[in-house]
Structure 1
Amino acid sequence: MSTPLVLVAHGSRDPRSARAMAAAAAAVRGARPDLDVRLCFLDLSAPSVDQVVDAVAAEGHSSAVVVPLLLGSAFHARVDLPALLAAGRARNPGLDLVQADVLGDDERLVAAVRDRVRATGVTLDDAEIGVVLAAVGSSCAAANARTANIAPRLLAGTAWSGAETCFATTAPSLPQTVFRLRAGGARRIVVAPWFLAPGLLTDRLKLQATEHAPDALFADAIGAHPLLAEVALDRYRGGLELLSDTRIELSA
């Protein structure tokens, strides 16, 4: 019996988010049809982490690797999910749960965003293109600085004029970022969400783009891109290694 892969998404009141994460989970299953892949959510969407963890235990599994479908290692990954998994272990003492790394800013996800930009119809050699990488934003300045460093990586292999980061919940805003890109020579703007799924915040960003850059193109969220599946499966393999190391330590 293989070790199940439990994908944990954020959850949202917007049903588009759950659909996008279900499609991402389906992409993972498609890449590894031999693997038991399950999807759950931290909040607002079903099934919950508790429900899936308890189902894994009830079906007789002795372990599972939990992969957070999160782009950053913030409160949800460091506090919320570990607490839920600790409670799951307490309810199911025979179940070994290992939390793998978040998806993070893996270069493959940057490439996936680049693909989403290209899907709007722009070409890699178009020097008039300026890209706004639109992210959630954090109250932590260091976290925002790390996210801001992703935008220049989008330019790899392109002739695009520039790439800058904006945030939905803090500065710099989308209008400010568009202004900087145009000052730097961009004639056409593409807004690229650094989001796994569409939702209320991407809608807010799209509205801002409509108001302040009406000629801008708006790319899709990362969603069920094949490269997301690759990263999730790499995190799963890393979790399996942690699981193996833990068992060796316990038997020593």
Structure 2
Amino acid sequence: MAGRPVLVLVAHGSRDPRHAATVEALRRRVAARRPGLRVEVGFLDFCAPPVGRVLEGLAAQGVREAVALPLLLTRAFHARTDVPSVLAPAAARLPELTVRRADVLGPSALLTAALERRLHEAGAGLAPGARRSTGVVLASAGSSDPEANAVIADIAREWRRTGRWFAVRPAFASARSPRTEDAVRDLRASGARRVAVAPYVLAPGRLPDRIAAGARAAGADVLADVLGPAPEVADLVLRRYDRAAAAPAALPLAGTA
């Protein structure tokens, strides 16, 4: 693995200490899956160290190349604006360090597999008979970007088809409706015998807590955990890393992700 670019996981950040702890758990799992690969974490906000400082540290240590991988599930505002606004100035300050930008994590069949894992761990019951009577709420943070929200709806439709659930409804913790509790009640009214809520979020924080509160308020039967360091997420991180590291040229650090 000598000479491979350093992997820098670019996390959103949160005032909730569970967020950084979950990202660190994911970092450890990724590193364990790829011995010899150096994996670092930088945050866009709230947590330390910030992404720019991580890149400056790498340059000071003589590292020549890094892959910055946004731990984001859609190409929404953070991917299109926040990430480039951090990476581009850092790259300009550090001409000795080539920074390749990997794609965001979602959508991906591996994330759907991670959702399935979390539901199974929470006791949703994945037997075909249980699936046919269970409605699932795919609960995401939500975005001011309608295209990002449309992606969540597309994932819900595809997951319903491939997972053979009674139904899969998208829900959002912010920016737009329906809220988690509304989607749970809608599934009940539609005839679902059981309702499971699957948070499509990477780490705990304010919005995931809002998803959980909505699930409890509406009486959901199952509430899955966040995706966190699920093995499928770690595998997806490495897949995105490998693609960026093998690209013939670094991706532009500004503009659309």
The TM-score, its normalising length taken from structure 1, stands at: 0.92
Q: What secondary structure sits across from 1:64 in the alignment?
A: strand
Q: Specify whether residues 133 and 86 from structure 1 end up closer, same or farther in structure 2 by C-alpha distance, changes over 3 A only.
A: same
Q: Deviations over 1:69-112 (max 9, x none)?
A: 10011222222222222211222221111111000111100110
Q: Specify whether residues 116 and 156 from structure 1 end up closer, same or farther in structure 2 by C-alpha distance, changes over 3 A only.
A: farther
Q: What secondary structure sits across from 2:135 in the alignment?
A: strand
Deviates more, 1:40-49 or 1:143-152: 143-152
Q: Deviations over 1:5-39 (max 9, x none)?
A: 11101000011111111111111001101101111
> Residue 112 of structure 1 aligns with which residue?
114
> Residue 255 of structure 2 aligns with which residue?
none
1:129 matched to 2:131: no
Deviating above 6 A after TM superposition, structure 1's stretches of 4 or more consecutive aligned residues are none
Give the drift of 1:150.
1.0
1:245 matched to 2:245: no
- Alpha carbons 2:74, 2:151 under 8 Å: kept: no
C-alpha separation in 1, matches of 2:179 and 2:82:
28
Aligned ranges 1:141-180 → 2 under 5 Å:
141-155=146-160, 158-169=163-174, 170-180=176-186
C-alpha separation in 1, matches of 2:166 and 2:106:
26
Q: What secondary structure sits across from 1:119 in the alignment?
A: helix
Aligned ranges 1:37-186 → 2 under 5 Å:
37-124=39-126, 125=128, 126=130, 127-155=132-160, 158-169=163-174, 170-186=176-192
Q: What secondary structure sits across from 1:147 in the alignment?
A: helix
Give the drift of 1:159.
4.4
> Residue 25 of structure 2 aligns with which residue?
23
- Alpha carbons 1:111, 1:154 under 8 Å: kept: no
Q: What secondary structure sits across from 1:40 in the alignment?
A: strand
Structure 1 residue runs of 5 or longer lacking an equivalent are 248-252
Give the drift of 1:149.
1.3
CA RMSD of aligned residues (A): 1.7
Give the drift of 1:158.
4.0
Q: What secondary structure sits across from 1:7 in the alignment?
A: strand
> Residue 222 of structure 2 aligns with which residue?
217
Give the drift of 1:211.
1.8
Which amino acid in structure 2 is aligned with residue 188 of structure 1? R
C-alpha separation in 1, matches of 2:163 and 2:147:
28
Which amino acid in structure 2 is aligned with residue 167 of structure 1? F
Which amino acid in structure 2 is aligned with residue 78 of structure 1? R
- Alpha carbons 1:162, 1:184 under 8 Å: kept: no
Q: 1:202 aligns with which of 196, 200, 208?
A: 208
Structure 2 residue runs of 5 or longer lacking an equivalent are 252-257
Q: Deviations over 1:179-237 (max 9, x none)?
A: 22123321111111000011111211222222222x52210000001111111111111
Q: Deviations over 1:163-191 (max 9, x none)?
A: 11111112112232122212332111111
C-alpha separation in 1, matches of 2:74 and 2:85:
17
